[in-house]
């Protein structure tokens, strides 16, 4: 085995029923300890098999009892609206692209005003971390600022593949220059970054989150926030030519006495420059996210700081030996087939997103582009929450999801952060995105990220996902608790296991499965360390960052587009809304801007009323928008969106899902009492029942 890790290989014996060749399964074990993967998983497989069995339906179409846990009931549809917030639209002086088919108007707003009823927001340093399940009540842990700042957990482990030549960071190695700062690192030295900036390597080479930077590459953007582990910059190679280093100092106009105090050989010189990101600045103006970047103030040189790698003030990004082992296996697979497919599986909070982001960045070191299929609508990587998407990645993703929102190649709106309400829609969205990948010529490699719901219905949907994408390499991430781990996802088990489609009789069991390898690694995430934010806050930041990108005046002050509601269809995905209240249901809400084909059936109650749909369609999404107001006299909607006007003209469907803006945005924009936002109702009784489409019906 490799010198930096221990692994165990075993063969799955060929059975007469499956008739498939042997499949190699590589399971990672901790250094110095061997473990029996089979015995460890026997209890897990038995438990999950019982849950799968409990969801099967009998021959008469009657559903057996499904194991359920306590859930939170959603509030009634009356609370979907904020009435009379923008009742008198007025023309704004803020400039906006001229339109021909769509009129332009702007309601009156007060984006700079503050509210006397502002709720006490949480600093990001003390955000609640939660273990979330679509079918269970939230369990939260309160992490105080003192616990975060005084954490004694060691998040920093040297990569054993390189020699431990770490040199403690010194403040005099960070020199202010015009437009930024020069960072001088020695071989193997690492530093952590807080804030956001651009990074360009002037001599030598460096690595950030798996991506290698050298003088031949373009500058990259770094975003290091306390909502996630802080990024680390590591020196990979140094410049031995002293003349080259001196020329770099000279080009950046360093004074001679300062240059004489700096090393002129065996160093890497990195320039950290100022990065202007108005949409990120807008997010940090809200009360909840003021401490997102450790309270670093914006200055002439930028909004960032550099700390020693030995600092334990905040959690730092930790890449274990298992990450590099998976990377080696992935590169080995790519050498065999450049169009290989890799999928990551595991429970919530076990590091799937970190691993996929690391693999994407590392793949760009050897290839020009790589595709990414996001199957987790609750924690999306490159789009706002509530959707599934396919991306073609050409630039590294060096930061949290809210820092690199981008337009996907294929985009489907799921309408919810969990597929538990409509599993059919979830699977159809995956099929649509994967179909877009199969149409690419030539096909780049594909990395697939799955959701963390791995029991009951979540396991059934995962089996369906594996059958759809037909991967070459399956990565399973195990937690410290064996009861929360997946059974081994070998081709035989995937082919013979039940899935949602097979239970609904849409697909038969024992479907031949493409041969794939399975790698099982241990999670390095410490769920009690408080180094990650609540999932709801991460979704809020991603949504705000997307909506305000390209809108420097802010979401509330931006000039909206006006569209007649008689020319579009309106649909609410996650709840049943009477047609008479459909306009109120989308007022002051986030909607998906979609393009509906003529083959989908639609109806309306009058010539001046909007079109309606009977069921949620799977159609192309071009972006998200915010319904700024509704004018019932002119029969039009005012929508604010970062989507270009050329694409807005093709939108003929607005879909409302369970994706909402943070309350802090309304409290900041509107002084006084804000209905349904800052006043808690004291009434007794049950809320509205949640609409479910997950139970198979008689045909």
Residue 30: pLDDT band with limits 50, 70, 90 = very low
| Contact residues for 415 (Cβ-Cβ < 8 A; gap 6+) | 386, 422, 425, 573, 574, 592, 616, 655, 656, 657, 658, 659
Per-residue confidence (pLDDT) for residue 85, from 0 to 100:
28
Per-residue confidence (pLDDT) for residue 377, from 0 to 100:
95
**Cα–Cα distance, 396 to 584 (Å, whole number):** 41
Per-residue confidence (pLDDT) for residue 682, from 0 to 100:
53
Backbone angles phi, psi at 197, to 5 degrees: -165, 175
Per-residue confidence (pLDDT) for residue 40, from 0 to 100:
43
CA geometry: angle at 670 spanning 688 and 584, to 5°? 35
Backbone angles phi, psi at 306, to 5 degrees: -120, 135
The strand ranges marked E within 387-438 are 387-393, 410-413
DSSP category for residue 452: S
pLDDT digits (tens, 9 = 90+) for 152-176: 333 333 333 333 333 344 444 889 9
pLDDT of 71 over the 60 cut: no
Structure-token pair, residue 196: 């956001």
Structure-token pair, residue 369: 């582009």
pLDDT digits (tens, 9 = 90+) for 641-656: 999 998 999 999 999 9
* Burial (CB count <10 Å: 0-12, 13-18, 19+), residue 561: buried
**Cα–Cα distance, 346 to 409 (Å, whole number):** 26
pLDDT digits (tens, 9 = 90+) for 592-635: 999 998 888 888 887 778 899 988 999 999 999 999 999 989 99
pLDDT of 38 over the 90 cut: no
| Closest by CA position to 125, among listed 411, 451, 526, 532 | 532
DSSP category for residue 316: B
Per-chain mean pLDDT for the chain: 75
Per-residue confidence (pLDDT) for residue 27, from 0 to 100:
54
Backbone angles phi, psi at 10, to 5 degrees: -145, 155
Per-residue confidence (pLDDT) for residue 671, from 0 to 100:
66
Structure-token pair, residue 122: 């949480």
Question: CB of 659 within 8 A of CB of 541?
Answer: no
Per-residue confidence (pLDDT) for residue 70, from 0 to 100:
32
**Cα–Cα distance, 269 to 57 (Å, whole number):** 64
Residue 533: pLDDT band with limits 50, 70, 90 = low
**Cα–Cα distance, 285 to 52 (Å, whole number):** 46
Per-residue confidence (pLDDT) for residue 237, from 0 to 100:
94
Per-residue confidence (pLDDT) for residue 34, from 0 to 100:
35
Tell whether omega for the bond before 442 is within 30 degrees of 0, i.e. cis: yes
Residue 142: pLDDT band with limits 50, 70, 90 = very low
Per-residue confidence (pLDDT) for residue 502, from 0 to 100:
82
Question: CB of 129 within 8 A of CB of 143?
Answer: yes
| Closest by CA position to 313, among listed 116, 109, 146 | 146
| Contact residues for 15 (Cβ-Cβ < 8 A; gap 6+) | 492
Kindly report which listed range (359-363, 445-449, 691-695) carries the lowest average pLDDT score: 691-695
Q: Which residue has the higher pLDDT, 234 or 311?
A: 234
The percent of residues above 90 in pLDDT, for the chain, comes to 46
Q: Which residue has the higher pLDDT, 504 or 692?
A: 504
| Closest by CA position to 230, among listed 304, 176, 126, 120 | 304
Question: CB of 261 within 8 A of CB of 227?
Answer: no
Domains of the chain: residue spans and CATH: 174-308 (no CATH), 321-522 (3.40.50.300), 559-661 (2.40.30.330)
**Cα–Cα distance, 555 to 548 (Å, whole number):** 6
Residue range 457-473: mean pLDDT, rounded: 95
Consecutive H or E run containing 249 = helix 242-251
pLDDT of 578 over the 60 cut: yes
Q: What is the DSSP string of 583-602?
A: HHHHTTSEEEEEE--TTS--
Backbone angles phi, psi at 342, to 5 degrees: -120, 140
How many C-beta atoms surround the C-beta of residue 4 within 10 A? 14
> Strand 446-449 to strand 410-413: parallel, antiparallel, or no bridges (unpaired)?
unpaired
Per-residue confidence (pLDDT) for residue 674, from 0 to 100:
62
Question: CB of 609 within 8 A of CB of 601?
Answer: no
Buried b or exposed e, range 194-221, using 16+ CB within 10 angstroms: bbbbbbbbbbbbbbbbbbbbeeeeeebb
Consecutive H or E run containing 562 = strand 561-564
**Cα–Cα distance, 615 to 605 (Å, whole number):** 17
Question: CB of 245 within 8 A of CB of 269?
Answer: yes
pLDDT digits (tens, 9 = 90+) for 323-365: 999 999 999 999 999 999 999 999 998 999 999 999 999 999 9
**Cα–Cα distance, 46 to 27 (Å, whole number):** 20
Q: Which residue has the higher pLDDT, 342 or 38?
A: 342
Residue 673: pLDDT band with limits 50, 70, 90 = low
Q: Which residue has the higher pLDDT, 315 or 526?
A: 315
pLDDT of 279 over the 50 cut: yes
Diameter of the chain by CA atoms? Answer: 88
Q: What is the CA radius of gyration of the chain?
A: 26
Q: Which residue has the higher pLDDT, 529 or 84?
A: 529
**Cα–Cα distance, 213 to 235 (Å, whole number):** 10
């Amino acid at each position: 085995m490799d010198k930096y890790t221990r692994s165990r290989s075993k063969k799955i014996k060929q059975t007469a029923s499956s008739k498939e060749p042997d499949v190699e399964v590589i399971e990672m074990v901790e250094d110095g300890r061997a473990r029996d993967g089979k015995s460890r998983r026997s209890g897990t497989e038995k438990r999950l098999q019982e849950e799968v069995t409990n969801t099967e339906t009998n021959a008469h179409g009657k559903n057996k009892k499904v194991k359920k846990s306590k859930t939170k009931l959603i509030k009634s549809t009356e609370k979907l609206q904020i009435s009379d917030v923008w009742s008198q639209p007025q023309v704004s002086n803020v400039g906006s692209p001229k339109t021909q088919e769509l009129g332009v108007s702007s309601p009156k707003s007060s984006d700079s005003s503050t509210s006397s009823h502002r709720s006490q927001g949480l600093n990001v340093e003390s955000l609640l971390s939660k273990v979330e399940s679509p079918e269970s009540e939230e369990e939260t842990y309160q992490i105080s600022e003192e616990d975060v700042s005084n954490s004694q957990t060691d998040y920093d482990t040297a990569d054993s593949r390189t020699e431990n030549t770490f040199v403690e960071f010194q403040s005099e190695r960070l020199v202010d220059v015009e437009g930024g700062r020069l960072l001088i690192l020695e071989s193997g030295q690492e530093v952590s970054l807080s804030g956001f900036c651009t990074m360009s390597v002037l001599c030598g080479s460096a690595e950030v989150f798996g991506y290698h930077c050298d003088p031949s590459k373009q500058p990259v953007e770094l975003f290091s926030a306390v909502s996630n582990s802080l990024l680390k910059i590591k020196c990979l190679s140094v410049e031995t030519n002293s003349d080259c280093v001196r020329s770099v100092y000279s080009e950046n106009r360093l004074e001679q006495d300062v240059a004489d105090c700096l090393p002129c050989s065996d160093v890497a010189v990195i320039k950290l420059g100022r990065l202007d990101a108005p949409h990120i600045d807008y997010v940090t103006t809200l009360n909840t996210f003021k401490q997102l970047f450790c309270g670093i103030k914006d200055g002439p040189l930028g909004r960032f700081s550099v700390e020693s790698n030995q600092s334990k003030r905040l959690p730092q990004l930790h890449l274990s030996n298992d990450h590099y082992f998976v990377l080696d296996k992935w590169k080995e697979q790519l050498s065999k087939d450049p169009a290989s497919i890799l999928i990551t599986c595991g429970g919530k909070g076990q590091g799937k997103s970190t691993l996929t982001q690391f693999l994407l960045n590392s793949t760009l070191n050897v290839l020009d582009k790589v595709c990414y299929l996001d199957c987790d609508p609750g924690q999306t990587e490159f789009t706002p929450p509530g959707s599934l998407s396919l991306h073609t990645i050409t630039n590294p993703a060096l930061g949290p999801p809210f820092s690199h929102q981008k337009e996907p190649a294929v985009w489907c709106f799921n309408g919810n952060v969990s597929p538990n309400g409509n599993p059919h829609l979830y699977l159809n969205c995956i099929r649509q995105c994967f179909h877009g990948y199969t149409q690419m010529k030539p096909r780049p490699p594909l990395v697939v990220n799955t959701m963390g719901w791995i029991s009951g219905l979540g396991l059934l949907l995962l089996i369906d996902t594996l059958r759809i994408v037909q991967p070459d390499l399956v990565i399973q991430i195990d937690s410290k608790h064996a009861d929360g781990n997946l059974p081994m996802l070998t081709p035989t088990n995937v082919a013979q296991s039940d899935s949602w489609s097979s239970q609904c009789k849409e697909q038969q069991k024992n479907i031949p499965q493409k041969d794939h390898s399975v790698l099982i690694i241990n999670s390095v995430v410490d769920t009690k360390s408080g180094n990650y934010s609540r999932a709801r806050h991460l979704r809020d930041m991603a949504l705000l960052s997307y909506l305000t990108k390209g809108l420097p005046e802010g979401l509330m002050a931006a000039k909206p587009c006006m569209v007649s509601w008689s020319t579009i269809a309106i649909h609410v995905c996650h709840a049943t809304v009477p047609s008479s209240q459909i306009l109120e249901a989308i007022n002051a809400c986030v909607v998906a801007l979609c393009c509906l084909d003529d083959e989908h059936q639609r109806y309306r109650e009058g010539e001046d009323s909007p079109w309606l749909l009977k069921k949620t369609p799977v159609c192309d999404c071009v972006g998200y928008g915010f319904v700024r107001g509704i004018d019932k006299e002119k029969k039009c909607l005012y929508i604010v969106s970062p989507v270009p006007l050329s694409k807005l003209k093709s939108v003929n469907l607005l879909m409302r899902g369970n994706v909402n803006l943070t309350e802090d945005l309304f409290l900041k924009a509107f002084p006084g009492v804000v209905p349904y936002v800052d006043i808690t109702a004291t009434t007794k009784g049950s809320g509205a029942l949640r609409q479910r489409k997950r139970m198979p019906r008689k045909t």
